[in-house]
Structure 1
Amino acid sequence: MVKVFRSPARHGYAVETSPFLPGRLALAAAQYYGITGCGSLLVLDQTDDGVALVRSWDWSDGLFDVSWSEANEHVLVGGGGDGSLQLWDTTNQDAPLRVAREHTQEVYSVDWTQTRGENLIVSGSWDQTAKVWDPALGRSLSTLRGHQGVVYSTVWSPHIPGCFASASGDGTLRIWDVKSSVCRLAVPAHQAEILSCDWCKYDQNLLATGSVDCSVSIWDLRNVRKPVNHLLGHTYAIRRLKFSPFSKTVLASCSYDFSVRFWDFSRTPPLLGTVEHHSEFVCGLDFNLHLQNQVVDCSWDETVKIYTPACLSGGGPGPRA
């Protein structure tokens, strides 16, 4: 069963499931495909027969990413086309709790730390910087420079405190040490822009990158001379990818080719299945941490879809519908 939520005149850029509530998710969306106009942040709940709107807020510019707090089930952070980060609270119906404006161009990525004892936010921007913030969004704690292109993706390590990865239009994957404010490793991962990266949930040395060159590469940080695996199949740029929280070698990727693909990079061939249920770019993707193999995605076709792919639930190849 596929559950569908429609967001008229709002084109989905990012979706993330709640770390606290099994049926809750957040959608970051933009008007006019994010080129102009305003944005919206929507909080949604799964119901027995569909998806219900819990709360929505409008913002003066497109919203391109969203991340839930790992410390408070009501709080989430958004990244905007006006260079702002906004802190939102589902118990507050009106304005954001706080707005931070330090980036000078679009904020395309936000992420909240998952490691025990930390409570930090990282943001990545078209201004070629990443910034680390306290959870109240006061002045940024540090600004990390080194990329020579747009920073499209910033993701905290789920294993190593004070460490995050970033992916950029300069074709590199970089690993950062927040305590020292330095780049520990720069990997020339693709000969094209990298739009997304993610950490393996079971191995602190494994990351994946997704690129405009239509490929996903799996990297072992102990030896980055060549990828562990190179996954081919998408026909347009890969917009976002996520490792499964339930399996070390399984991940999902979504693309401008309107599809979501599921992979097991330990297998030959690695492609488990393909889901083609959108009519526009698929930009947002996440696994539900609470419901095994449930996936949420969002698209420029103004829909959010929640489903369990057959290829992950023992039913063979995924649907092509």
Structure 2
Amino acid sequence: MKTFKFPARHGYAVEISPFIPSRLACATSQYYGIAGSGTLLVLEQTETGISLVKSFDWNDGLFDVTWSESNEHMLVTGGGDGSLQVWDTANPQPGPLQVLKEHTQEVYSVDWSQTREENLVVSGSWDRTAKVWDLSHGGQSLCTLQGHEGVIYSTLWSPHIPGCFASASGDGTLRVWDVKTGRCRLAIPAHKAEILSCDWCKYDQNVIVTGAVDCHSYAIRRVKFSPFNQTVLASCSYDFTVRLWTTPGQSSRCWRTLEHHSEFVCGLDFNLHIPNQIPSRSVDTEHTHSRI
């Protein structure tokens, strides 16, 4: 296991670059995201450890990050001031290339589309709306989708269906949206509690996993399907752990628990290039790389 610590910043999200196997980005905040500023960390994994490549500061907390699927230098983060920030790691200037400000409350989720037919970003906010953005068309969103009765914690594009994304909310529902029509295609009362995360199965377009504040000792903060094994998914939790699960079918069970953090674990990803490698990010200010 490799560890990187950045003082005075608490981690909320981590994502591996789709282009460079050793590179990852972390969205962080001061004071547990309650107050203060935020920092986007771009890190590099080496044989001996994890090093800082570049950092970008923002005047409010950063809660999520997503890499571009078409440009290895581009990233988007979501901030506590209701804005999205567009960053270029090759830009010598310290500030963002663009700031997209339409949400009226915290942006808790951002995701870059994975299908070849489009190049879009979706954002989910505490203002109960999801917005879709095309960064090549100026600073205005393409559309705003409403329907949730609670905070939106997670928005994820389908890796299979163009123009389709899922959202998870504090109202206990999972919704599937069609951007072309601007409507909700499916609303599922998935939990009787707040849903904090969702993810699409990489092998079956009809399967989505959700993580909520129920059915566990502490809230599940993020869930991810493995890109290499259709029967494996990972979760991280406020109980300080990362857990590996088998998906429903023959039996659903936790088959491994990683206990290397000392605080809430909020960020989690699978390395798309290296099988069995999972980066995680905690509010204990540590970033770790684990092997499973």
Structure 1 position 273 matched with structure 2 position 256: yes
Structure 1 position 30 matched with structure 2 position 29: yes
- The residue that corresponds to 1:200 in the other structure is 201
Structure 1 position 106 matched with structure 2 position 106: yes
1:101-140 matches, cutoff 5 A: 101-136=101-136, 138-140=139-141
- The residue that corresponds to 1:242 in the other structure is 224
Give me the whole-angstrom Cα distance separating, in 2, the residues matched to 1:211 and 1:20. Answer: 31
- The residue that corresponds to 1:180 in the other structure is 181
- The residue that corresponds to 1:308 in the other structure is 291
Give me the whole-angstrom Cα distance separating, in 1, the residues matched to 2:189 and 2:220. Answer: 17
Paired AA for residue 261 in structure 2: H
Q: CA deviation at 1:269?
A: 5.0
Per the alignment, in what secondary structure is the counterpart of residue 55 of structure 2?
A: strand
**Structure 1 unmatched ranges of 5 or more:** 216-233, 310-321
- The residue that corresponds to 2:144 in the other structure is 143
Give me the whole-angstrom Cα distance separating, in 2, the residues matched to 1:194 and 1:200. Answer: 17
CA 1:303–1:267 in structure 2 vs 1: closer, same or farther (change >3 Å)? farther
- The residue that corresponds to 1:297 in the other structure is 280
Per the alignment, in what secondary structure is the counterpart of residue 31 of structure 2?
A: helix
Paired AA for residue 127 in structure 2: D
Percent of residue pairs bearing the same amino acid type:
69
Give me the whole-angstrom Cα distance separating, in 2, the residues matched to 1:82 and 1:268. Answer: 43
Give me the whole-angstrom Cα distance separating, in 2, the residues matched to 1:72 and 1:55. Answer: 17
Listed one character per residue, the Cα deviations across residues 53-111 of structure 1 (whole Å, up to 9, x for unaligned) are 01101100000000000000000000000000000000113110000000000000000
Q: CA deviation at 1:138?
A: 2.0
Paired AA for residue 175 in structure 1: V
Listed one character per residue, the Cα deviations across residues 260-281 of structure 1 (whole Å, up to 9, x for unaligned) are 1100124535211100110000
Paired AA for residue 84 in structure 1: S
Paired AA for residue 286 in structure 1: D
Paired AA for residue 193 in structure 2: A
Q: CA deviation at 1:39?
A: 0.3
- The residue that corresponds to 2:13 in the other structure is 14
Give me the whole-angstrom Cα distance separating, in 2, the residues matched to 1:124 and 1:298. Answer: 20
TM-score by length of 1: 0.89
Give me the whole-angstrom Cα distance separating, in 1, the residues matched to 2:252 and 2:263. Answer: 27
Give me the whole-angstrom Cα distance separating, in 1, the residues matched to 2:29 and 2:152. Answer: 19
Give me the whole-angstrom Cα distance separating, in 2, the residues matched to 1:25 and 1:290. Answer: 12
Per the alignment, in what secondary structure is the counterpart of residue 33 of structure 1?
A: helix
Q: CA deviation at 1:135?
A: 2.5
Give me the whole-angstrom Cα distance separating, in 2, the residues matched to 1:279 and 1:37. Answer: 22
**Corresponding residue pairs, total:** 289
- The residue that corresponds to 2:87 in the other structure is 88
- The residue that corresponds to 1:263 in the other structure is 245
Give me the whole-angstrom Cα distance separating, in 1, the residues matched to 2:101 and 2:235. Answer: 31
Give me the whole-angstrom Cα distance separating, in 2, the residues matched to 1:48 and 1:185. Answer: 45
TM-score by length of 2: 0.97
Give me the whole-angstrom Cα distance separating, in 2, the residues matched to 1:249 and 1:135. Answer: 35
Paired AA for residue 246 in structure 2: D
Report the RMSD for the aligned CA atoms in angstroms.
0.9
Listed one character per residue, the Cα deviations across residues 111-169 of structure 1 (whole Å, up to 9, x for unaligned) are 00001121000000000000000024620000000000000000000000000000000
Q: CA deviation at 1:170?
A: 0.3
Q: CA deviation at 1:296?
A: 0.3
Paired AA for residue 7 in structure 1: F
Paired AA for residue 132 in structure 1: V
- The residue that corresponds to 1:210 in the other structure is 211
Per the alignment, in what secondary structure is the counterpart of residue 236 of structure 1?
A: coil
Give me the whole-angstrom Cα distance separating, in 2, the residues matched to 1:123 and 1:181. Answer: 14
Give me the whole-angstrom Cα distance separating, in 2, the residues matched to 1:272 and 1:163. Answer: 32
Runs of 4 or more, structure 1, over 6 Å off, are none
Per the alignment, in what secondary structure is the counterpart of residue 44 of structure 2?
A: strand
